[in-house]
Amino acid sequence: MATQPTREDRLAPAEIGRHYDEVSPIGDELRDGQLHMWYWYGDEDDAPLEEAVQRISHKVTGTLGLRPGERVLDAGCGPGETAVRLARDLGVHVTGITLSAFEVAKATSRAEAAGVADRAHFRYGDYTAIPYPDGSFDAILALESLLNGDDLDKALREFHRVLRPGGRVALSDFSLESAREPDRIETFKTGLRLGALPTVPEWLERVRAAGFQVEEYTQCGPRVFGMKTKYVTTAMKRRAEIAERFGDSAVREYADGYRSFFVPRKDQIGYIIVAARKPAR
Ligand SMILES: C[S@@+](CC[C@H](N)C(=O)[O-])C[C@H]1O[C@@H](n2cnc3c(N)ncnc32)[C@H](O)[C@@H]1O
């Protein structure tokens, strides 16, 4: 039986990479190459899972206002679908970094298949020590990738360093909405390998402390984490198909690994989208 990771195990980059090497293959298949949350308008919204997941990509990347030819860093890029779409649909140059070797390989083949390998590149890299010089990017995307590490502030300072003056950052992630029943929150954080879970004011404070001007923010948790039951129902519709591809025990292990995710009450976990800018001077 798998042992619960300790706090140290949970935060070490190698452990984070191993975690995504394990969960990304099924997550990639289930959520169309996007390892992030969904967005449903309510219980009566019958959008399929792929569409609900795509809505988050659109909402978050839409705040960047990308123009053709701009240089974008996708920090914590997952299996690459979001970056590939940005390169294909908007004509930007995207560099994706991740701690998962599986994701680098998957994202690279996805870019080749989409015919954008000249504009979308992926490599192993840690966003707390970004392997690019100061001012290398016009925009940075961090779509649900910032909370795994134990040093959110260091990551934000690195974003500030590698952005050009006037450059933009868009991030989305979980926020703590209610600390009642702290055991539920701790279970959620441990299961997802989260190093932190800031409240909305804490998120904004930390983004500002890194030197950014916050220009827009949204808290849409009721349409994201609040729709967790709908996610389970929708995902279950594809269970047999996914099990045929990966094997029944792999799917069971995947589902067991996410059991702790569903432990908090719907109103305990929010979802924040923040758009900010590095001042021009
Ligand atoms: C929940 S997934 C989101 C992936 C992708 N942004 C998406 O929306 O599909 C989190 C991602 O963050 C990456 N990640 C976590 N910590 C990282 C770090 N310190 N440096 C680079 N990537 C990191 C993981 O490897 C994984 O790709």
Q: What is the pTM of this model?
A: 0.92
pLDDT in tens, 195-235: 889 999 999 999 999 999 999 999 999 999 999 988 888 87
213 is a domain residue: yes
Query: CB 231: neighbour CB atoms within 10 A?
Result: 21
269 is a domain residue: yes
171, 146 Cβ separation under 8 angstroms: yes
| CA dist., res. 14 & res. 172, Å (int) | 23
Q: What is the pLDDT of residue 251?
A: 76
- Cα R_g (the chain), whole angstroms: 18
Residue 125 alpha carbon, nearest atom of ligand 1: 21
Ligand 1 centre distance from Cα of residue 44 (Å): 31
114, 144 Cβ separation under 8 angstroms: no
DSSP H or E stretch at residue 139: strand 137-143
Residue 153 in tokens: 């502030």
Does residue 8 register a pLDDT over 50? no
1 is a domain residue: no
Of 271, 281, 278, the C-alpha closest to 64 is 278
2 is a domain residue: no
255, 225 Cβ separation under 8 angstroms: no
Instruction: Indicate the number of domains in the chain.
Output: 1
Report how far apart, in Å, the C-alpha atoms of 59 and of each of 62, 92, 216 are: 5, 17, 12
* Cβ(63) – ligand 1 distance below 6 Å: no
The CATH number covering residue 59 comes to 3.40.50.150
The range of the structural domain enclosing residue 89 comes to 7-277
* Cβ(100) – ligand 1 distance below 6 Å: yes
Ligand 1 centre distance from Cα of residue 49 (Å): 20
Averaged pLDDT, 101-119:
97
97 is a domain residue: yes
148 is a domain residue: yes
Category of 148 on φ-ψ map: left (φ > 0), alpha (ψ -120 to 50) or beta? alpha
Residue 13 alpha carbon, nearest atom of ligand 1: 19
